[in-house]
Chains A and B, each alone.
Chain A
Amino acid sequence: MTDLAGAPASDALPAGLRRVAIDPLSRVEGHGKVTLLVDEHNRVRQARLHIVEFRGFEKFIEGRPYWEVPVMVQRLCGICPVSHHLAASKALDHVVGAVPVTRSATLLRRLMHYGQVLQSHATHFFHLASPDLLFGFDSEVSRRNLMAVAETCPDVARQGVLLRKFGQEVIRATAGKRVHGTGSVPGGMNRHLSREDRALLHEGLPVMIDWAEEAVDLIARLHAEQPGLYTRFASVRSNLLSLVGMDGSLELYDGVIRARDATGRILLDGLSDQACLELLEEEVKPWTYLKFPYLKSLGPEQGWYRVGPLARIQNCDFIASARAEARRQAFLALGQGEPVHASLAYHWARMIELLHCLEMIAVLLADPALLAGDLMTAGERQRAGTGVIEAPRGTLIHHYEVGDDDLVTRCNLIVSTTHNNRAMNEAVCAVAREYLDGQTLTDGLLNHIEVAIRAYDPCLSCATHALGRMPLELTLVGPGGAVLDRLRRSAEGRIERPHAAPEAETAR
């Protein structure tokens, strides 16, 4: 995917390059596999993150009644189902002519989504990433999990678990279930917040906000302790894309589209989310099911971009909640006038958003419209609708076309991980160039590549949650296709170097 300057960006295996495959990844959502293509001088020429799972969700939504979709489509993911639930609802609001939905419905959906982003960010930072960040990328595999964090830093682990739980409770109170609820429907919501749940959430908020501030402090401290590593590691300059509020504020639920270039200059701004799909083109590569979106106006080489927390908090002009905005200003100072592009800065940005979510939950809980008021809107029926939302991992786009018989005739989903596809490939390439040493594979290289990918919090299949117990395999393939070396990490964390039997492999 990524070539050294001047090298051709071919999709086939370029002549004379070797292939290094890492299969599969652990502690990301789903399974992935990485191939490094190196030349005869052992220089990394390309990095390819293969997404080899195919789910076909878009196809089997076709032919289903539209009102079923917001519930069905959230089964894409067990971590961020609410984002799919709401993106589908927003798209179908247009189909049923319910734009805007009522104030109560809007506030309830916003509350639900803040709970979702909070829950997902807490899961990613504390459960998945914190072992790497606290113990080091090369620490013992068996210790890189939340249980080890609980032994070493019990307060951090406990706060992570309870922050996640709080987010889940917000979701339950608004959607009916902690995972895969049914609160949002095309045209509005089917329930108010109960007084009991409002009291319950209100009571828990102050300590959650304190813990969120501590989490921002923790990641900021880690950056300060190793500024070289955190700034340099997997750093990739890119465009940034996200929704922002009409006033330029950080926006997670509904807004207009803005993109900046790597220097921070605004490329486009104020565009309606209904025009979103006209801005983008998706490139297909033969070696992965994951497409490569880019801004149509700039083309595939210049128009790729990053989404997610790092993009969002730098794309906006400000965050509307005071504590998070103060933390954002401290974060921005790191860039010295330009956007911060370090991949590990995603974690910092993620914790600032986590704090913002809790502050906004506090604001929303004070609004009586959550407890009463009209929930549903109806209007003139339309044939199609687009719903764009800022999911935990970035911009999420749902588009549906619906026939006169109420059945979905076309479905197009562009999920956050897809937007970040090129960026993840670039980040892996940057890491491999720094850590691949000669023809010897090390588990250190493998670990560092995983850490780089994990910074993007990719949701590759939206189904599994490996927590570091998945086997890993790293293979070095010579220019002739022979396997020169192989390193395998078993499910139990054992590192093995199995006999590297000469064998031809087909480059993918």
Chain B
Amino acid sequence: MSSADAADVFHLDGHDVPFTTGETVLAATSRAGRYIPHLCWHPDFAPHGSCRVCTVRVGARLVPACTLPAATGLVVESDTAELRHLRLRLLQLLFVEGNHFCPSCEKSGDCQLQATAYAVDMTGPHFEEFYPARPVDASHPDILLDLNRCILCSLCVRASREVDGKSVFALGGHGIDTHLLIDSPSGRLVDTDFAPTDRAASICPVGVILPKRRGFAVPIGERRFDQQPISAAEEGDP
């Protein structure tokens, strides 16, 4: 970074991070190989700014790095005790709002939520679990939807709409009742034109949208985040 032109870098925790015009702080940070924890952001899609896990401090302001335009000379704090604690609490809230049972979840080891929780040293839920009653939609012959694990990142919504051109998914409801909707008369996945080859079928960062009958085919120890922590893993689909 030290060789970068001073005109197109910002400062992240004392490091210079180069950026291109129009890039956000999170996009530039990720491209530079540095890590700011995040869940609803994906390099292939426009920022959503909903999970708030990528919150950074710029002067007196706390802002999501995924929506913050990079600017020359910007001083960004991310790896601080304050922000680590904030992210920890956000993640704990996400865990208790859904039903996340890592021990028997086939996404364990490949799950961005689990890996991010490890990255912020989360060791327990802290808050009382909600244990919401959420459905499992197994109607599709090739894809399982387990909504117990949904964190409302909307990546499937964006992928289906922007890449697949189908709009199979949408977020409905308000506040704590916000939930993922399936756009079909029955509300079931089998009654949509969703296909296993859709971009939305492989975008879910947690264990909601899963190919059927694969399960634990990949052994423990050989999964994506078994190999290296999420802070060192490459960005992309889980």
Contact = CB atoms under 8 A, between A and B. Distances in A.
B138 A407 contact: yes
Interface in B77-133: 103-106
Contact of A63 (B103, B106, B136, B220): B136
B214 A182 contact: no
A405 interface: yes
Contacts of A323: none
Interface stretch (A125-133, A173-181, A228-236): A173-181
Contacts of B221: 176
Interface string B211-238: 0111111111100000000000000000
Chain A interface secondary structure, helix, strand, loop or mixed?
loop
B213 A406 contact: yes
Interface stretch (A68-76, A243-251, A262-270, A279-287): A68-76
A190 B138 contact: no
B144 interface: yes
A405 B138 contact: yes
Contacts of A63: 136
Contacts of B214: 67
A70 B104 CA distance: 9
A180 B146 CA distance: 22
B136 A407 contact: yes
Contacts of A335: none
A71 B214 CA distance: 13
Contacts of B104: 68, 71-72, 75
Nearest to A63: B136
A419 to B, nearest CB: 26
Contacts of A68: 104-106, 215
A183 interface: yes
Contacts of A405: 138-139
A367 to B, nearest CB: 20
Interface residues of A, number: 24
Nearest to B105: A68
B220 A67 contact: no
A170 to B, nearest CB: 16
Interface string A40-68: 00000000000000000000000111011
A378 to B, nearest CB: 9
Nearest to B213: A67
Contacts of A393: none
A454 interface: no
A177 B219 CA distance: 10
A155 B41 CA distance: 58
Nearest to A191: B219
A182 B110 CA distance: 14
A181 B220 contact: yes
A185 interface: yes
Given A72-B104, A406-B144, A65 B212 contact: yes
Nearest to B101: A72
Interface string A182-215: 1101100011000000000000000000000000
A140 B106 CA distance: 47
Interface string B191-220: 000000000000000000000111111111
Contacts of A71: 103-104, 106, 215-216
A176 B220 contact: yes
A130 to B, nearest CB: 31
Contacts of A72: 103-104
B103 A182 contact: no
Given A63-B136, A406-B138, A190 B106 contact: no
A96 B212 CA distance: 13
Given A63-B136, A405-B138, A406-B138, A185 B216 contact: yes
Given A71-B103, A186-B215, 10 more contacts: A65-B144, A67-B213, A67-B214, A72-B103, A75-B103, A180-B103, A182-B219, A185-B217, A405-B138, A406-B213
Top 8 A-B residue pairs of the complex, sorted by shortest distance between their CB atoms: A67-B215, A72-B104, A176-B220, A405-B138, A182-B216, A191-B219, A190-B219, A407-B138
11 contacts: A64-B136, A65-B136, A67-B106, A67-B213, A71-B103, A180-B103, A181-B220, A185-B216, A190-B216, A190-B218, A405-B139
